[in-house]
Structure 1
Amino acid sequence: MNKKAFYLWPLRQSYTILADQELAVMMKAGDEAAFNEIYKRYWERLYVVAKHRTGDTYETEEIVQDIFCNLWRKRHSFELTKGFQNYFAVAVKFEVINRMARKNRENRLKKEVSLLSPLADESTSDQLDFNELQSQLALTIKVLPEKCLLVFKLKHEEGYSQKQIAEELNIAEKTVEAHLSKARKTIRIRFGYLAEIAKSVLFF
């Protein structure tokens, strides 16, 4: 061990005794060692929860990796409120639901496109318009606030009732209703009279 490594060793070791809030502040400042400590501290817990929900090893690894990649990517604007255990519990739930919803939407879209394919043969422009609308709607929904997006997907893509969503996310039904109202308003503002068509395109 060289002299520099020898002097840095106690400093590196000290990360293991830091609280979540301290690690979050250091990570926000770009400290990779703090991020690595968060990763080591919580990776296994996330993996167990995600694996329980998906049952698939490969997808579980992808989910956990994506969560940590997203955390590092948004580190400069990241604010920890209730500790990483709470943050990751919500993050893994959101990621699993998001993937399930995406798969369901893709499967439904394939069925819808297959039904429209005869029309597409007659009018390619109609099919292109359909694809463009679907793409724009997906982008509009994707940029909803995180909790609003999660509530929207649970309601319109997973078929949860408002009561089930409230229980799943541990929030009041009034809060669920407010998130759904905000999502619908965003779509109406963005697409106007096409909002009704949007419902059939994205199946909500």
Structure 2
Amino acid sequence: MANYNLYTDQQLVSLLKDNDQVAYTEIYDRYQGLLYIYACKITKDESEAEDIVQEVFFYLWDKRAAILFNTSLSSYLYSAVRYKFFNLLDHKKVRANYVESLQRFIEIGNIEADYAIREKELTILIEKEISLLPIKMREVFELSRKAQLSHKEIAEKLRISEKTVKNQINNALKELRMKLGVMAFLLILTRF
């Protein structure tokens, strides 16, 4: 078997274009660490840097046959990291503009009717999911959230331990959070 770490970048690129996965792995091993350090310097965020480098390598493999290497492999990879970084900045700017626009819309107050309708639909959805909880868990949850009984009162009423009450409520909240998502879960915490 060939020793790929002895190949030049040009040889690896040629093999990569021929769908050679070992050549791709060698390119990854050779440049991943360096590109990550570079991406960390320009993003100032390790998580974003990691994402950018992974996207670059995913693109390299995905488009291996079509990519034209007009420069060296290293120049291409560093340029790709820069491009992904600028792309990320553009998306952040769009996201910031969207948030700003949404904030203006909220301040105007045109969403009250829409909010009421959505809240009603969400409440119906929450009630449905609560009804699908296991019987004992649902009973404990409803006594806690709807009847507003303390853990001690529920334990006495159902003749179970307070720890069981606490566990049932925590399990119900976990299950509802998984099924309904964050927004509905926050509504449960504030309304139910």
TM, length-normalised to structure 2: 0.54
CA distance in 1, matches of 2:77, 2:27: 11
CA distance in 2, matches of 1:115, 1:17: 59
User: Structure 2: where are the runs of 5+ without partners?
Assistant: 115-192
Total equivalences in the alignment: 113
Which of residues 97, 101, 108 in structure 1 aligns to 2:90?
101
User: What letter is aligned with 1:86?
Assistant: S
CA distance in 2, matches of 1:123, 1:47: 48
**Which structure would you say has the larger RCO, counting Cα contacts within 8 Å and 6 or more residues apart?**
1
CA distance in 1, matches of 2:11, 2:53: 22
CA distance in 2, matches of 1:29, 1:54: 33
Q: What is the CA distance between 1:113 and its match in structure 2?
A: 2.3
List 4+ stretches of structure 1 deviating above 4 A.
Answer: 117-120
Structure that is richer in helix per residue: 1
User: What letter is aligned with 2:40?
Assistant: K
Q: What is the CA distance between 1:89 and its match in structure 2?
A: 1.6
1:124-166 CA distances to partner (integer Å, 9 max, x unpaired)? Answer: 8xxxxxxxxxxxxxxxxxxxxxxxxxxxxxxxxxxxxxxxxxx
Instruction: Tell me the SS of whatever aligns to 2:49.
Output: helix
User: Structure 1: where are the runs of 5+ without partners?
Assistant: 1-7, 125-204
* Superposition map of 1:11-50 within 5 A: 11=2, 13=3, 15-50=4-39
Provide the residue aligned with 2:77 in structure 1: 88
Q: CA RMSD in A?
A: 2.0
Q: Percent identity?
A: 29
Does structure 1 residue 55 correspond to structure 2 residue 50?
Answer: no
1:39-79 CA distances to partner (integer Å, 9 max, x unpaired)? Answer: 11111110111011112112111111111011101112122
Q: What is the CA distance between 1:94 and its match in structure 2?
A: 0.8
User: What letter is aligned with 2:38?
Assistant: V
The question of whether the paired residues in 2 share the 8 Å contact of 1:24 and 1:79 is answered with no
CA distance in 1, matches of 2:43, 2:111: 39
CA distance in 1, matches of 2:13, 2:32: 16
Which of residues 88, 92, 111 in structure 1 aligns to 2:100?
111
TM, length-normalised to structure 1: 0.51
